[in-house]
Each structure stands twice: as C-alpha cells, then as structure tokens.
C-alpha cells in the first residue's frame, strides 16, 4: 500500500478515524488504490490521578484538528468511519453533552464491581451467555462503579455510549454502534446477538439509553452540516480499535496478531464463538460478522518506556544475559487478572546490568501476551499453525527490541506489515465497503495492507520463559 501520495486523486476518497487512548488520527485514502493521500493527528489529555479518564469533548476537538490537517480531502470524502478505543464509559445528558469525563478501558477502579458481577453468576455463565467474563476494563463494570460512586450522574444519564459511538453520533446524529464494539460492553450477548435484557434490568439501565447495534455493512447515516467532513458523505457503523485493525489487515482464521501499543493485544479471527470461562480470552465479535477472540494486557509499551526512563536508558538500549525475571505490571494487570498488582523484579545479581533489567521488562511484557496467544489460537485449534507468522503491529512493532523479543520468546516467524495506522486504515476499509459493496477482506487484499518484511523464526528462549513462569505465582497469578 502506498502512503502519502503526491500524484493526485485516483478515485473516490474515504476517511478512516482512529480515536485511541492517546490521540485521534485521520487517514484520507484513495478507494481504488489504497493510497494514503493525507493524514492528521491530534493528542488527547488523559488524567493520571486516581483513575484514567478523558473528557469526550477532547476527542471531538482532536478529531476536528486532525480533519483540518488532511486539508481538502475532508471535504472531498464520500464516506467516513470511526475506529475507537474499546470499553470506555461515556454518559451523556439530553443534549448529547458528557455528564462527566469518560472512564477509559485502563481505569481499574471498577475491579471490585467486576469481581462482584462474576461472583454473582459465575464465570462459566458469563462466558456462555455473553462470550466474555467481565473485568475492570469492561463497560458493564464501569457502569456499576458509577452507580455506586456517583449515583446522581448515573441517574441523570440520558444516553450511554462507547468512545467510537460518541464520535459517530457527532458526525451523523445517529445513536448507533456495531457488534464488534458492543461485544466489549458486557451487556451484549454473543449467544443471541443482542443486548441481554436480564443484565440491563439488573443494571437499572433502560435499553433506550444504549445505541442501536448495526450489522456488518450497515451505515449509521450521513454526515451532518458543520462537523468537519463533507455534508452528505456516508458514515459507517464504526467499530472498536482491534476489530478495525482486523478489518485493515484482512485477517483470515488462524492468522495471529500481536499489537504493541499503550496496551498489548493478541487476537485472531475465529470460525467458532469464543466462550472462555477463565476470562483470559474475551469472546468479542468481529466487525465483519465473525468472531475475534482476544486477550489484552494493560502494561505494554508505556510500562517498558517507564522502566527505560527509570534506568536512564533509551528504549532500545537492552543487553542480553543475566537471570532477570521482570513482570512489569506497573498499572495492575488485566491478563493475567491481577488488577492490584505492581511490578515484580527477581534474579538480581552483582553483575546485573541496567540493559539486562530493561530487556527483562520487554521479556515480561511479551511473555504475558504470548501466554494469552496460545489460548486465543485454541478457539479455532484446527486453524492454528506454529508456522503461521505472527503479524506484529502497533507502535512497538517498529522497535528493534520489541521485534527481537517477540521472535526470541515465541520461536515463530514474525511479519511486520509496512502499512501503519491499521486502526484508521481498517476504518477506511469499512468506509470503502459502504461505497463499493465489496467485502472488507477483498478491499484490504487489493490494498495489500498486510504486506511487509518477514523475519524468520529463531530458537525459542525456554530458559527466560521458565524464569517468568516461576515468578508469576509470586503475584498470585
């Protein structure tokens, strides 16, 4: 896929939006070729106090700023779609204005509420009925935290949305979502394909407050006047960030993805509906009508960067050797489910170097992801192959230390797609599908989005894996 072309418009233009934890990004993409014609990005403000929150108006302002950066393409676009961070809780008043900052997916204050939800019905019940066992990241847990902590805000809510829904509604005026993002709320049943009325009743939540769940290929509506995009352009249903990246890659069953960002994520497209009672694998729906079993860790690139900062080293200044076992769970952890954990470092010796400690942080972050990946691929066991390259994406995929750590601890070949901003690109794929009627995988295929250098497998470092496995029980995992 070409990027940032200078050869003029070759066909209809679509916009793909990625509203992540840290920033909003917009790609203007040529539908015919997949060429990225322009891009924009604006940062978000995230609180770092007792929890992790952002005012949704910050996302809207960032989207406007990013749209301005793509210049005339925003007014030439024929369709737009939004991919966004999952799980966040957005509560709105009757005018569509936020009643409070959004609780983000990595806000773990709702861990007691998540535990109470699981204990009430049992993990197996949740896995079979909803497809996932609620954790602190899930919207359902955050809603219960809001009811317990700020009951007046919960009572005043006239609409409850996910982050991508908020932006889609601002663009189109439609209160809608898609099955991919809805499946991360804890209220949407993967068994029935709709909201679970029993759970909503127990949550004291009127179904009318929730967005309508659109099916694959359905559109939210058209762009309103004065919102930064050409009025009348088609608006896609949008989806969650991981489901959008899967669209952008054109994934087929058995292709493992490891995403290195603020969070670490592993997922694959599956033919079977996931239902993992351990809660490690979330049974999410994909945006194209299938399934997207997924596991997510809280501590990934930001945690390793923090360790590098503490050591006074650049992020790639790692050294081999030593007997370090480092579990860098600096913000608690979701996978394994240790919301109150902190970092654990063992194996220090007089001759341990700062570079070995930093490498240990990389090892611990990747170890948690690879352990979860085995379970993700087990959902469709016949589709999983040890010879299938891991698709390594996200900001960390461009880092040499991350790449080599994944190769060394997985023992698998690794492919790094050349295409960047895969969430925004996947949203662009969804927008293009509205225009052409093609399946998203066909569009991603002709855009060659998953092409990139293949790094062959190396011998797996079983000694490092064993050290980390022995350290995990010290945290209760």
Residue 403 to residue 48: CA distance in whole angstroms: 29
Residue 1 to residue 321: CA distance in whole angstroms: 39
Element (H, E) at 447: helix 440-447
pLDDT for residue 339: 83
β-strands 176-178, 212-214: how paired?
Answer: parallel
Instruction: Locate the DSSP E strands across 347-394.
Output: 390-393
pLDDT for residue 271: 87
| pLDDT band of 476, cuts 50, 70, 90 | confident
Per-residue pLDDT tens digits for 158-196: 999 999 999 999 999 999 999 999 999 999 999 999 999
pLDDT for residue 9: 46
Checking if the pLDDT of 384 tops 70, the result is no
Residue 199 to residue 282: CA distance in whole angstroms: 18
Residues in the chain: 477
Listed residue (390, 452, 375, 443) closest to 417, CA to CA: 452
- Say whether 404 sits in a helix, a strand or coil: helix
β-strands 79-84, 13-19: how paired?
Answer: parallel
- Average pLDDT score, the chain: 94
Per-residue pLDDT tens digits for 112-170: 999 999 999 999 999 999 999 999 999 999 999 999 999 999 999 999 999 999 999 99
Which among 49-58, 247-256, 273-282, 351-360 has the top mean pLDDT?
Answer: 351-360
Number of H helices, E strands in the chain: 16, 24
Arithmetic mean of pLDDT, 409-432: 96
Residue 260 has φ and ψ, to the nearest 5°, of -110, 105
Triad 431, 434, 438: Cα angle to 5°:
105
Classify residue 474 by its DSSP letter.
G
Q: DSSP string of 259-297?
A: EESSSEEEE--BSSPP--TTSSSEEEEPTTSSEEEEEEE
Triad 272, 114, 335: Cα angle to 5°:
60
Checking if the pLDDT of 3 tops 60, the result is no
| pLDDT band of 310, cuts 50, 70, 90 | very high
Checking if the pLDDT of 224 tops 60, the result is yes
Q: Residue 336, preceding bond cis, omega within 30 degrees? A: yes
Per-residue pLDDT tens digits for 421-441: 999 999 999 999 999 999 999
Per-residue pLDDT tens digits for 235-254: 999 999 999 999 999 998 88
Residue 276 bears catalytic tag = no
Structure pTM?
0.88
Beta bridge partners of 89: 103
Number of Cβ within 10 Å of residue 467's Cβ equals 21
Task: Report residue 239 as tokens.
Answer: 């989806």
The catalytic position among 241, 288, 331, 380 is: 241
Checking if the pLDDT of 334 tops 70, the result is yes
User: Token match 């966004």: residue?
Assistant: 84
């Amino acid at each position: 896929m070409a990027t940032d072309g200078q050869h003029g418009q070759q066909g209809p233009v679509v916009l793909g939006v990625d509203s992540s934890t840290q920033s909003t990004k917009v790609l203007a993409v040529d539908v015919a070729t997949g060429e990225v014609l322009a891009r924009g990005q604006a940062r978000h403000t995230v609180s770092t106090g007792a929890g992790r929150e952002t005012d949704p108006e910050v996302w809207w302002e960032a989207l406007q700023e990013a749209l301005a950066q793509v210049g005339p393409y925003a007014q030439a676009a024929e369709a737009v779609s939004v991919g966004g961070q999952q799980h966040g809780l957005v509560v709105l008043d009757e005018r569509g204005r936020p009643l409070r900052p959004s609780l983000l997916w990595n806000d773990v204050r709702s861990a007691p509420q998540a535990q109470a939800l699981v204990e009430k019905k049992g993990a197996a019940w949740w896995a079979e009925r909803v497809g996932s066992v609620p954790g602190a990241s899930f919207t359902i847990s955050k809603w219960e935290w809001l009811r317990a902590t700020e009951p007046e805000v919960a009572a005043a809510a006239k609409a409850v949305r996910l982050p991508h829904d908020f932006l889609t509604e601002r663009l189109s005026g439609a209160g809608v979502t898609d099955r991919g993002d809805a499946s991360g709320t804890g209220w949407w049943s993967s068994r029935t394909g709709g909201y679970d009325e029993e759970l909503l009743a127990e949550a004291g939540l009127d179904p009318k407050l929730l967005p309508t769940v659109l099916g694959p290929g359905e559109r939210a509506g058209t762009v309103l006047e004065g919102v930064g995009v050409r009025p009348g352009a088609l608006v896609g249903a949008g989806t969650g960030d991981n489901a959008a990246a899967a669209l952008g890659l054109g994934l087929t069953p058995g292709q493992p993805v490891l995403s290195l960002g603020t969070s670490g994520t592993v997922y694959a497209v599956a033919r079977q509906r996931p239902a993992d009672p351990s809660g490690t694998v979330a049974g999410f729906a994909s945006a194209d009508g299938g399934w997207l079993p997924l596991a997510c860790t809280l501590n990934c690139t930001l945690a390793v960067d923090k360790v590098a900062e503490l050591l006074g080293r650049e992020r790639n200044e790692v050294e081999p050797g030593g007997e370090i076992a480092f579990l860098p769970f600096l913000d608690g952890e979701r996978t394994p489910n240790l919301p109150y954990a902190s970092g654990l470092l063992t194996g220090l010796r007089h001759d341990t170097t700062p570079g070995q400690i930093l490498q240990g942080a990389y090892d611990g972050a990747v170890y948690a992801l690879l352990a979860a990946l085995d379970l993700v691929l087990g959902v469709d066991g016949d589709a999983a192959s040890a010879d299938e390259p891991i698709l390594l994406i996200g900001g960390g995929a461009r880092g040499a230390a991350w790449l080599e750590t994944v190769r060394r601890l997985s023992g698998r070949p690794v492919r790094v797609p050349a295409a960047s901003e895969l969430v925004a690109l996947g949203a662009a794929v969804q927008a293009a599908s509205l225009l052409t009627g093609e399946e998203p995988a066909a569009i991603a295929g002709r855009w060659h989005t998953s092409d990139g250098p293949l790094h062959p497998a190396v011998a797996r470092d079983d000694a490092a894996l064993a050290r980390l496995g022995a350290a995990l029980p010290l945290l209760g995992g």
